Structure 1
Amino acid sequence: MNNYSIDPILIPVPESFESSRLHIRAARWGDGPAVNEAVRESADELSPWMPWAQRIPTVEESEVSIRKSRLQFLERSDIRLLLFHKSTGQLIGSSGLHRIDWQVRKFEIGYWAHTSYTGQGYITEAVNAITDFAIQELQANRLEIRCDSRNTQSSRVAERTGFTLEGILRNDKTDVQGNLRDTMIYSKVRGIEY
């Protein structure tokens, strides 16, 4: 049986890994309160871009979201990763590998940061580490970062981490207010960028 025909639930996916400043790990039951606090404190910065940040969730809703993410991790249908500062243990933000196609070995990297930690290179560091993780541990053939064309902070992360802008899908989605928006697609592809 080749590596591409294995049922994804059988694919070994490490629970955690590290970068120079971050401990990056799969979501676990009990992470809801820390995520809730980060979302509450960062709502103004998250709400223009994240549909899920239009309303501040309760602690219980955040825990439900974490538990669902844990189940998705075990099923290998989505890999939500939380970013913790190695020395302080503080939650820096969230990232992960989403919209997974195991046959192609294609993953989309998403990310957001707690407002207190933006502008310090943590997300760039996390994206680099998650990219390496996806390539080395999951044999990624294609990695994508997609963002609203107006989200310059997100597009700068993609550029700083060596992703190539493949194109802009015009009127591809609606933004959080329901207006049409363009989506920038960045990628790294095996055999070209690594």
Structure 2
Amino acid sequence: MSSIIANPILLTIPESFESKRLVIRAPLWEDGAMVNEAIKESIDELRPWMPWAGQIPTIEESEIISRQGRVHYLERSDLRLYLIDKTTGQFIGSSGLHRIDWQVRKFEIGYWVSTPFSGQGYITEAVERITYFAINELQANRIEIRCDSRNTRSARVAERLKFTMEGILRNDKCDVDGLLRETVVYSKVRGAEF
């Protein structure tokens, strides 16, 4: 792949790939109901960290978000990915490559897990596979994971996968309550970590 992208929409990017236990895929029409169910089951765990989790969305709102995710994937402006259990077909969580800079080939990995599947290594497995996908399919030069400094579970995913902690951005964002928070930045960069 050339380092200069005239228009990312011309890139041929697979819409799904697999890890040991997961199918990791772009959103599809009609995914809204399963995503909505997972949000309902997980709202108490999501609310402290995800600004969009202030209230439980309707099924229609979840379908709109999924369809927008599909469109953005096709446009190559944001690569949302759903995590589906290979054996049961259950929705495990959501991840993806966000805040994309195609010129630099920089991506930020975000993630959340449905509460019934928390603590079982699914997010670590998914992030490891998405990192591999970004390096090998998208020729990433930089991959970031950013999280609220108080979100130790999210930070542990980055640490387990040997992302380098680059620093803490003080008073970087407002948390869900509107208070200033610190953001921890982890990364992997071509030439150093891969």
TM-score of the two chains, using structure 1 as the length reference? 0.98
Aligned pairs for 1:30-179 within 5 A: 30-179=30-179
Unaligned runs of 5+ in 2: none
Tell me the amino acid that sits aligned with residue 13 of structure 1.
I
Residues 35-72 of structure 1 deviation map (CA, whole Å, 9 limit, x = unaligned): 00000000000000000011100000000000111110
CA distance in 2, matches of 1:2, 1:33: 39
SS at match of 1:191: coil
Tell me the amino acid that sits aligned with residue 126 of structure 1.
A
CA distance in 2, matches of 1:177, 1:133: 35
SS at match of 2:137: helix
What displacement does 1:164 show? 0.5
CA distance in 2, matches of 1:176, 1:184: 16
CA distance in 2, matches of 1:69, 1:20: 24
CA distance in 2, matches of 1:76, 1:95: 15
SS at match of 2:165: strand
CA distance in 2, matches of 1:12, 1:99: 19
Identity, % of aligned positions: 69
CA distance in 1, matches of 2:191, 2:17: 25
CA distance in 2, matches of 1:103, 1:33: 35
Tell me the amino acid that sits aligned with residue 17 of structure 2.
F
CA distance in 1, matches of 2:49, 2:5: 36
What displacement does 1:3 show? 3.8
Q: What residue is the counterpart of 2:24 in the other structure?
A: 24
SS at match of 1:28: coil
What displacement does 1:5 show? 3.0
CA distance in 2, matches of 1:81, 1:92: 11
CA distance in 2, matches of 1:2, 1:135: 14
Query: Structure 1's 18 and 177: CA in aligned 2 closer, same or farther, altered over 3 A?
Result: same
Unaligned runs of 5+ in 1: none
Residues 117-165 of structure 1 deviation map (CA, whole Å, 9 limit, x = unaligned): 0000000000000000000000000000000000000000000111010
Tell me the amino acid that sits aligned with residue 96 of structure 1.
G
Query: Structure 1's 127 and 2: CA in aligned 2 closer, same or farther, altered over 3 A?
Result: closer
Q: Please, what is the CA RMSD of the aligned residues?
A: 0.9
What displacement does 1:171 show? 0.5
What displacement does 1:6 show? 2.7
Q: Which runs of 4+ in 1 moved over 2 A?
A: none
